[in-house]
A = this chain, B = another copy of it.
Amino acid sequence: MVAGISVPRIEGMAKIRGEERYASDITGSKILWAVARRAGTPSGILRSLGDEPASMDGVVAVCKADSIEGENLLGILELDQPVLVPLGGRIRYRGDPVAVVVADTRERAEAAARALTVEIDPLPAVFDPLEALSPEAPVLYPGREGGNLLASGWVRRGDVRSVLEDCDLMEYDVFRFPMQEHAYLETESGVALYDGEVLEMEVSTQNPWRDRDELSRALGLPRERIRVKAPCLGGGFGGKDGVVIQGLLGAAAMTCPGRAVKMVFSREESFLCSPKRHSSVTEMTLGCSSDGTLRAIKCRFTLDSGAYSSMSVPVLTNGLDHCCGGYRFEAVELEGRAVYTNNPFGGAFRAFGAPQVMGALEQLVDRLAKRLGADPLAFRKKNGLVRGDMNGSGVVLTSTVGAVPCLDRALEQEIWRSRQEWRNSAPEGKARSTGAALICHGQGFGPGIPDFANARIELTEEGRFRLYSGIPDMGQGNGSTYVHLAGESLCQERDRFDLVQPDTDRSLRSGPAAASRTTYIYGRALLAAVDELKRRMYVKAGMVLGAREDDLALLPGKVRCISSGRELPLKGLAGFMEPPERCSVAGSLAPVSFPGPETDYGPKSSGFPHCIFSWAVHIARVEVDLLTGQVSVPRYLAITEAGRVVDPQMYRQQIEGGVAQGLGYALFEDFSVKNGEVASKDLSTYIVPTSMDLPEVECLAVELDEPSGPKGLKGLGELPLIGPLPAVANGLAHICGPLTVSPFTAERVFFSLSGGTIDEDRV
């Protein structure tokens, strides 16, 4: 295996054959099923719970808050979410769980959970984050300092007011983007067994180690008595980065010691109770001079955090960090707020925070270019960040900066050069246009949150390599890429590797599958561990073969002494090595950066700001049916700079998947919540685009070499999701004017075409 070409995925055949075992596939005749009962009302006090399930057929246990011996509270930064709401406790959204019923079949558990009588004293509720900030609004956490304002943050440099006054052109608008649902194939699921001593759980999770920490506190078990395993996930996208099902499942298992308990969220439950992309209101002003130099940006955005904090604070800071996109500004004033409401809670979702601000920024940039009569990409290039520039957050960029290289590549593409021809080619009843966007996304955590990984690899007695992945595989194939990197360095083929998926008892703590960090950070740690293992193997092989170490070469299945031609099979070599010698571990800590003193920013402890970014220019051809407003995107090109490409197929697939999810966000997915209730309850009304709805995504890589990355790569997971909304909006703007509310459904586009105003309560 070498770096630079695709290697078939190590788990690929098992997945194609249906043999890969996901958490939801674990089964057995004696397995018990757990089902949660939800509050069903958005605000109130839990008054009482009935005893109906206890006497129902097949019911083994009913777990309520008082069954839990720990603190019964979950939360990554703020500890605000109960595993189960206690009697007298506060209901803050319709999905709050009040009990879990365990029975011998799923149907019986569901029936029993439904039968449970729940009495709740209703309280006033608030569903709009701007309303929630008014002094009269009902407060979700009485006595909490700050009331419903969960968090706020800012970035300030220069005097924005006076620079804006000095600008020749300004653009201002308010953008509203809705919640988005992860809509993974596999809903939240897992199996847990408590043997009276140890709680063991196999669960669809992006971070088994942090799950263990949260479970330990919430359920009152020491960490060493909890084991969490993360098999392959049927999708994650951030939705499984944090405890959602794990607390209920663990609590349920602890009520039935010795019995395996399984839990799988229904689609409706997943829609209601898993974290969403935060809906947002983004108000932005851009100013530039008549020569096309961007000068000042002012932005204020508000995120609906719903009932619980979850990842809201880092989503907020990530939003701040991406407000200024890929441009230089002399004056910056940004403010972000996250607000509690009685809606489903917002949390991590691929690129979190960035789509909500770049969707606004890239539309305003296009409007300025249009007013100046400039090529929108050339206008971006004029203002594009280069290495050595200070970005919006005050970070001087010293790593690779792909903004201008991607723009250069874009400017020469046929899809861009022929946009006039495309426009003119529209048949009767249709209009055609082309839109583009420059996007970027930071990788890893930034200062304040250590971004580390610890890799472990072993040469086994049989002369094979066992690689312990420390970061779950959500489906993106990072496990396979780890094998690819190790195989390249060890000169071994894929079939000589066994990949162990993350397991708190076997792998080493390496943080979540999140933040575009997995391949970068675990790859760095892994290559260090592999180097150490190689060194030990060469030392031992040198003794056995009587050769100098620089006369040895690792070859598939063996070590060869080059000058003598003598060879030692790896199995033979393993026999000469002690078990600890055959096991190598190494850690890696990602670089962080700090903004200089010119910039005032805060908060200072939520992984903000980033220092390494990946970059892309997305170009969309759009077509609108002028009679119906229906939008289609017949061609889509993503030009991406994310360092070197180690596996072209993996690279492409991340981009294709991100663009699909981004086009869903832009055009189809309308996560509609009314009075805290999800109106689009399942996949029949929440429309996720299928391959029939999407163009083939064309991918071009601009390969800059990132010196800090393993084999020169950078993170790519989140970036591609950001581009479609602004690229499509910029295309549509030529046809129907500005679109500030997404998704751009036929109805909204039709109203815009007819110059009408949109009744947002209707669409």
Contacts and interface: CB of A to CB of B under 8 A. Distances in A.
A596 B563 CA distance: 5
A555 interface: yes
B560 A396 contact: yes
Given A491-B398, A703-B703, A705-B644, A405 B2 contact: yes
B704 A4 contact: yes
Contacts of A3: 704-705
Contacts of A416: none
Contact of A556 (B388, B405, B556, B703): B388
Contacts of A387: 2, 491, 556
Interface in A406-444: 408
Work out how many copies of this chain go into the complex. Answer: 2
A562 interface: yes
A712 interface: yes
Nearest to A562: B594
Contacts of A580: none
Contacts of A594: 562-563
Chain A contact residues, majority secondary structure: loop
B562 A596 contact: yes
Given A703-B703, A704-B2, A555 B388 contact: yes
Contact of A396 (B401, B553, B702): B553
A2 B705 contact: yes
Interface residues of A, number: 39
Interface in A704-736: 704-705, 707, 711-712
Interface in A389-412: 396, 398, 400-401, 405, 408
A628 interface: no
A405 B5 contact: yes
Interface string A642-662: 001110000000000000000
A388 B598 CA distance: 55
B705 A560 contact: no
A28 interface: no
Contact of A597 (B4, B565, B705): B565
B564 A712 contact: no
Interface string A1-41: 01111000000000000000000000000000000000000
Interface of A: 2-5, 387-388, 396, 398, 400-401, 405, 408, 488-489, 491, 553-556, 560, 562-565, 593-594, 596-598, 644-646, 702-705, 707, 711-712
20 contacts: A2-B405, A2-B705, A4-B400, A4-B644, A4-B703, A4-B705, A5-B405, A5-B408, A5-B704, A388-B491, A388-B555, A388-B556, A396-B555, A396-B562, A398-B491, A562-B593, A562-B596, A563-B594, A565-B597, A645-B703
